[in-house]
Structures are given as structure tokens and as C-alpha cells.
Amino acid sequence: AELSTIQEELTLSKTQLLEVEQRLSSRDSLVDELTGELNLKKTSETQLKEDMAALQNLFVTTKEELQEKVSELESARLKLQEEEKLKESVEVALKGQEAQFVAVQEELTKLKAEKEILEGTVEDLTVNAKHFKELSTDLEEKLKLSDENFNKTDSLLSQALSNNSELEQKVKSLEDLHNESGAVAATASQRSLELEGHIEATNAAAEEAKLQLRELETRFIAAEQKNVELEQQLNLAQLKANDAERDVTEFSEKIAHLDAKLKDAAEEKNLINSLLQEHMDKVSQLESDLIQSSNQNSELEEKLKTVNEKCSEHEDRATMYNERSRELEDLIQSSHSKSESAEKKVSELELLLETEKYRIQELEQQISTLEKRCSDSEENSNKHLDNVSYLTSELEVFRERTSSLESTLQAANEKEIEVKDSLNAVTDEKKKLED
């Protein structure tokens, strides 16, 4: 009976070691996913910086063009002053002056219309700046959501640590099983209740993760729509800028014959300079937002370091479980030396152990094939992910995270079934001992 209990302890310890190794592999994959997510966020930030640099270059070019136009207006003003001096020496008929006055009024109406068009282009530019600011706020919200996901992963890791401590208590209780079988049954029943509580907690965590995934999918769809709208607005702004350049060339040709519109042009110049100053202020605000996002990314990298340290702690505990299994094997060898009189029973138990070893080897082969398939699928997914956009990659990462959570739930359910089987075996052996 002692030998059978020790063998059952050895099988349970092996299964527990396999489960710990599976959890460690799943945590390594989770860390890889988190590093991939950080790299994607860094690429998105570099792309944002490039867009900001392009916008700054566009503002600089428009400012230079406006300065050139102002210089042309000043030269036209000098020419008009010279023409005025010439006009003072020349007497013009009243009829010609009246006709010229009517023409000037018509040109003034045209210039007012052109001024309204230019004001519309400036308003479009301000709307584009507002859209860019909204996009930066959306990115900050995404970073906050990623922080929350990291906190949830930390909570899951803490739950896994508590499960490991409870497994250690179970191993200790199994060591004392040959002395106190009744106490083991009581502790095993308490263990099953605790496992049920942990399974319910993991189920709740998985449901929360699914809800968060749905919210993220809706937000990513909205972000894609905003990006499409921003591209359309940029194209419209470029077309309007080209139209504005044509209008300004016509305006410079007409200004040679107009004297009164110089004051209006100077006022327009002041308005455009003020608008450019506002746009430059908005660009500085966007740069400060980018600096904040880079700081948040550094914080995320520090959190990744803490996760790696926790994984190393789990590996140390796995080595402790291996040492414990070796100690159990030493106990089995000592029990074999004591049970020389029961050679028939030992031979039967050895046959059972060989069958179990074959089963373990088959399971290990299946695990190796599954790992190969996972590696092949990861290579294929990496090839496809290079061609897919940033938003779809984030969705796939979160879906993989939900699949890992579901796998942990399945492992917990299987563990509960194994614990129940072990409890049934312990109760049967107790009945046999009592008989």
C-alpha cells in the first residue's frame, strides 16, 4: 500500500511538473507577445513623428510662400507710388475716371470672393489640426488600455503563484498520506473547493478580457475611419492650396492696377501670420504629447522586465519540483529494497509503471509535435503580419491572449478532474486498508 501511494505521488508530481512547464511556456509566449506589442507601438510613434515632421515642413513652405508674396506686394506698392507720382502730372478726363472707378469696384468684389475662399482653406487647416489632436488623444487612451491589460496579466500571474503554493501544500499532504489517510482526505476536499474557487475567478477574468477585446475592436474600427477621413481632408487641403496659389498669382497681376486694396492685403497678411502662429502652437502641443507617449512606453518596458523576473522565479520553482520528484524516486527505491518478500506485486507495479512511462513518452511526443506546429504557425503568422497594418496586428495579439487564457482555463479544468480522480483513488485505498 505504501509503494502504491508513493507511485501515485510520483505520477501526480510528474503531471504537476508538466503543467508547470506548460504554464512557463505560455508565460514565455505572453512575454513575446507583449514585446511585439511594444515594438508595434514604437513603430506607430515613429510614423507619427514622421507625419509631424511632414506637417512642419508643409507649414514652413507655406510660410515662405506667403513671405514671398508679401515681398511681391511691397514691390507692387512701390510701383504704385511711382505711378501715382506720374498720375499727378497727368490730367485725366472725368469719364475715364468714372469708368475706372466702376472697374475697381468689380475687382473689389472679386477680391472679396477670393478672400472668402482663402479663409475657407485656413479653416480647413484648423480642422485638420484638431483631427490630429484627437488622434493623439485616441493613442493615449490605447496606451492606458494596454496598461490595464498589463495589470490584469500581473493579477493572473499572482493567481498562478497562489496555485503553485497550493500545489506545494498538496505535495506535502501527499507525503504524509501513508501515516494519516483521514487527514489527507480532509485536506484534499478543501483543496478541491479552493480549486473550484480559483476556476471561477479565472472564468471571470476571461470574460472581462473578452469584453475588453470587443471594446478595443470597436475603437480600432473608429480609428481607421478617422484615418481615412484625415487622408481625404489632407487631399482636399492640397487641392485648395493649389487653387489658392493660382488665385494669388492672379491677385498679384491685378494688384498693379489697384491702389486701395493694398491695405486689405496687409490686413490679410496679419491674419495669416496669426493663424500660422496658432498652428505652430498646436504642433508644439502635439510634440509634447509624443514625448508623454514615449515616457509611457518606457514604463511599459520596465513592466516587461518585472514580468521576466517573475518568469525566472517560476522556473526556479519548477527546478524545486524536479528535485522533489527525484526525492520521491529515491523513496520508491528504498521501498523496493524493503519489499523483497512481495516480488510478484512489485513486478505487476513495474509493468504498470512501464505502461505509464510509455503513455508519458507518447504525451511528450504529442507535445513536441504540437510545439513544432506552433512554431510553423508562428513563422507563417510573422510572414503575414509584415504585410498587415498596425491596427489588425494589435487585434490578433489580443485574440492570441484570449486563446492563451482559454488554454489556462482548460488546464485548470483538467487539473480539477485529476484532483477528483486522485481523491477517488485515495478513498478507495482507504477503504481497502480499513477492510
- For the stretch 400-434, pLDDT in tens is 766 666 676 677 667 767 767 776 776 777 677 66
- Provide the pLDDT confidence category of residue 325 given band limits of 50, 70 and 90: low
For residue 161, the enclosing domain spans 2-434
**pLDDT value at 150 more than 60:** no
101-124 tens-digit pLDDT: 666 667 667 767 766 766 666 576
**pLDDT value at 65 more than 70:** yes
Q: Which residue has the higher pLDDT, 163 or 36?
A: 36
**pLDDT value at 74 more than 70:** yes
**pLDDT value at 384 more than 60:** no
pLDDT at 414: 78
- Provide the pLDDT confidence category of residue 17 given band limits of 50, 70 and 90: confident
How many structural domains compose the chain? Answer: 1
The amino acid present at 222, given as its one-letter code, is A
Q: Tell me what percent of the residues of the chain surpass a pLDDT of 90.
A: 0
- Provide the pLDDT confidence category of residue 172 given band limits of 50, 70 and 90: low
Q: Which residue has the higher pLDDT, 86 or 220?
A: 86
Dihedral (Cα; 386, 389, 395, 396), 10-degree rounding: -20
Mean pLDDT on 63-69: 76
**pLDDT value at 202 more than 70:** no
**pLDDT value at 141 more than 70:** yes
329-346 tens-digit pLDDT: 666 566 555 555 545 655
Mean pLDDT on 186-190: 57
pLDDT at 236: 72
pLDDT at 151: 67
Average pLDDT along the chain: 66
Distance of CA 374 to the CA centre of its chain: 22
Mean pLDDT on 58-77: 75
pTM of the model: 0.23
Q: Tell me what percent of the residues of the chain surpass a pLDDT of 70.
A: 30
Most trustworthy range by pLDDT among 61-70, 163-172, 177-186, 242-251: 61-70
pLDDT at 260: 64
pLDDT at 10: 72
Mean pLDDT on 282-297: 65
Mean pLDDT on 290-302: 66
Q: Are 286 and 133 in contact (CB under 8 A)?
A: yes
- Provide the pLDDT confidence category of residue 142 given band limits of 50, 70 and 90: low
**pLDDT value at 387 more than 70:** no
- Provide the pLDDT confidence category of residue 391 given band limits of 50, 70 and 90: low
